Amino acid sequence: MESFSEIKKIQKNLTDKKYSCTELTQQYLDAIAQKNGSLNAYTCVTAETALAAAKKTDEKIAAGGMLAPIEGVPMTLKANISTKGIDTDCCSKILQGYRPVYDAAVWELLQKQGAVLLGKCNMDEFAMGSSCETSCYGGAKNPHDLSKVAGGSSGGAASAVAGELAAYGIGSDTGGSIRQPASFCGIVGLKPTYGAVSRYGLIAYASSFDQIGPLTTSVEDAALLFDILSQKDARDSTSVGAQHLAVPALQQSLKGRKIGIAAEYFTGLREEVQAALDKAGKVCEKLGAQLVPMSIPEIQYALPVYYILACAEASSNLSRYDGIRYGMKAEHYTGVNDMIERTRSAGFGSEVKHRILLGTYVLSAGYYDAYYKKAQLLRRKIRRAFVAAFEQCDVLLAPTVPMTAFPLGFTGKDAVETYQTDICTVPVNIAGLPAVSVPCGTDASGMPVGMQLIGNTGREDLVLNAAYQYEMATRAES
C-alpha cells in the first residue's frame, strides 16, 4: 500500500543519500525566505538551530546509525510553545522579545528525536481567534488563495505545512485551533484527548480546554507524532499520556465499525461542504462501515458554554501579564496600578481585551451563578451526551467547519459569524475528546473542505485509523 507520509519519504531520501539533511534544511530555509513574505506563516526563523540539528543527523547517517522516527525532518512550532532562548511571544505585543528559560515538554521530546526546528509560526494573539488575524504581525495567508485566511489560531503552522515551508507543525487546540486551520488549508490536524499530551510549557489560554497536537500532510504522520508526543509528564497534573498507540492501529479494516452522524452537526452548512461530507460518508460505507444516524441535542449549547468558560479561564491566566515580571512594560506611569493599566492597555489587542472583559464579567459576584456556574453544569451535560453517543457508535463523522476559508478582513465585518466557525469544533474541547480533521474535497473555487472524525476519550487509535482508511481510499482514486 502506498504511503503518503512526508516524514517517511524524507527519511528514506536521507538514508538513501539522495540529499543530506543540511541540504534539505537549507532548501526549506530558502523556501521560507522566498515565500514567507506573502504567506506570513513564520514570525521567527531559527536557521542556526535548524542547521545545527541537521548537521547532527548527517553525522549520524555517515556513521551508519539508525534514525529515530522523525529525526532530520524539518518542522515548525506555534509561537505559544516555549523554546529556551528562542522567541515565544504568542504573537502579542505584551510578550514581544520574550525568550523562555526552559523548553516545553513537547519540544523536549522532539529534540530527543532529532527534530529540525525551522522557526516559530504565526497565530492569533494568545490563541484567541479563528482566522490568525488577531496576531500583532498580521494574519497568515492561505497557500491555496492568498486573499483567504489560513484559519486560527494555529494558522501559521497550517499555512507553513500546506505551503511546503515545513514537513509538519505542532500547534495547540483550545476550541478548534488545530482542526479549523487544517480544514481551511487542506491538511490533517489532530486534537488529542485532553491530557494525552503534556501542556507543560504551553502558554495558557484556557487550561481546561488547551491541548497540543500535530498538523501534517498525512494521517500516518499525525499518528506517528501523536505516539511520540503522548507521554505522561509529572510537571502537568492533567497529563495521563496515551491510552492506545495510534500507528499500530492504522491497518485495521472499517468493516463492522459504526460511524455516528449526529444531525446537530449538519445544520447551517454551506452546500458544497454538505456535498463533500455526504460523499465522504459514502466512501466510509464502501469501506464496510455502518453509518448510524443519531441526535446529540446538547451540542446546541456548546458555543455559549465554550465562550463563557474559556474566557473566564483566560481572564485568570492572562492576569500574570502586568509588566512587572516579564514582557512589555509601560514607559510613563504615576504608580503601580497606572503602570499595570497602561501596560495591559497597550500590550493586548482588541480580541484579547474582549475575552478578558467577558471572562471577568462572568466570574464577578453578581453574574457567577447566572453564567459561569450554569456553563459548568452544561459542560457536564455535554460530556454525558457524548458518553451516551459512543455507546451507539465507534466514531462520529462531522464537518470540521461549516464553510471553507473566508476572505481576509471578514472577521472585522462580522464577529458573530466568525465565532460560529467554531461551532463544530468546540464540543470536542468541552468534553476533552480526540478528533482529527482530514481533507475531504473542495468547493467550486478549489478551497479545501475538512471532515472531522471524533472519538471517545483515549481512542485516537480508532479516530486515526478511520481517517487513514478514508485517506487511503480517496487518495488512491485521485
**What is the β-pairing status of strands 74-78 and 116-121?**
parallel
Q: Which three cell numbers stand for residue 194?
A: 485532553
CB 429 within 8 A of CB 379: no
Give the span between the Cα atoms of 318 and 359, in whole angstroms. Answer: 11
Mean residue pLDDT of the chain comes to: 96
The candidate with the shortest Cα–Cα distance to 51, out of 77, 28, 81, 35, is 28
pLDDT tens profile 67-114: 999 999 999 999 999 999 999 999 999 999 999 999 999 999 999 999
CATH fold for domain 6-263+277-294+387-477: Amidase signature (AS) enzymes (3.90.1300)
At residue 414, the pLDDT reads 67
What is the percent of the chain where pLDDT is above 90?
A: 95
Q: Tell me the mean pLDDT in the region 333-345.
A: 96
Q: Tell me the mean pLDDT in the region 138-165.
A: 98
What is the percent of the chain where pLDDT is above 70?
A: 98
Question: Could you list the active site residues?
Answer: 78, 153, 177
The domain ranges of the chain are 6-263+277-294+387-477
Give the span between the Cα atoms of 392 and 259, in whole angstroms. Answer: 9
DSSP-derived 3-state class of residue 160: helix
What pLDDT band is residue 15 in, cutting at 50, 70 and 90? very high
Q: Tell me the mean pLDDT in the region 268-288.
A: 97
**Strand locations in 192-271 (E):** 211-216, 258-262
Angle of helix 6-15 relative to helix 219-229, nearest 10 degrees? 80
pLDDT tens profile 375-424: 999 999 999 999 999 999 999 999 999 999 999 998 666 667 777 889 99
The enclosing H or E element of 412 equals helix 410-413
pLDDT tens profile 411-469: 666 667 777 889 999 999 999 999 999 999 999 999 999 999 999 999 999 999 999 99
CA distances from 373 to 308, 362, 366, 386 (A): 10, 9, 12, 21
Model's pTM, two decimal places? 0.97
With 60 as the cut, is the pLDDT of residue 1 above it? no
The set of residues, in sequence order, having a beta carbon less than 8 Å from that of 311 and lying 6+ positions away, is 206, 355, 356, 358, 359, 362
DSSP-derived 3-state class of residue 143: coil
Give the span between the Cα atoms of 224 and 110, in whole angstroms. Answer: 12
What pLDDT band is residue 476 in, cutting at 50, 70 and 90? confident
Region for residue 342 given its phi and psi (left: phi exceeds 0; alpha: psi -120 to 50; beta: otherwise): alpha
Sign of the Cα pseudo-torsion (331, 334, 340, 344, in order): negative
Give the span between the Cα atoms of 238 and 194, in whole angstroms. Answer: 8
CB 458 within 8 A of CB 333: no
Q: Tell me the mean pLDDT in the region 371-377.
A: 97
CB 284 within 8 A of CB 466: yes
R_g over Cα of the chain: 21
The enclosing H or E element of 75 equals strand 74-78
Give the span between the Cα atoms of 123 and 156, in whole angstroms. Answer: 6
Q: Tell me the mean pLDDT in the region 221-242.
A: 98
126 secondary structure, DSSP code: G
Q: How many CB atoms lie within 10 A of CB 434?
A: 30
The set of residues, in sequence order, having a beta carbon less than 8 Å from that of 96 and lying 6+ positions away, is 89, 136, 327, 328
Residue 445 has phi, psi (to 5 degrees) of: -95, 5
**Between residues 268 and 172, the one the model is more confident about:** 172
Give the span between the Cα atoms of 457 and 82, in whole angstroms. Answer: 27
Give the span between the Cα atoms of 360 and 356, in whole angstroms. Answer: 6
**Cell 478549489 identifies what position?**
446
CA distances from 380 to 208, 265, 312, 314, 397 (A): 13, 19, 17, 20, 22
CB 443 within 8 A of CB 144: no
CB 151 within 8 A of CB 230: no
What pLDDT band is residue 478 in, cutting at 50, 70 and 90? low
At residue 419, the pLDDT reads 76
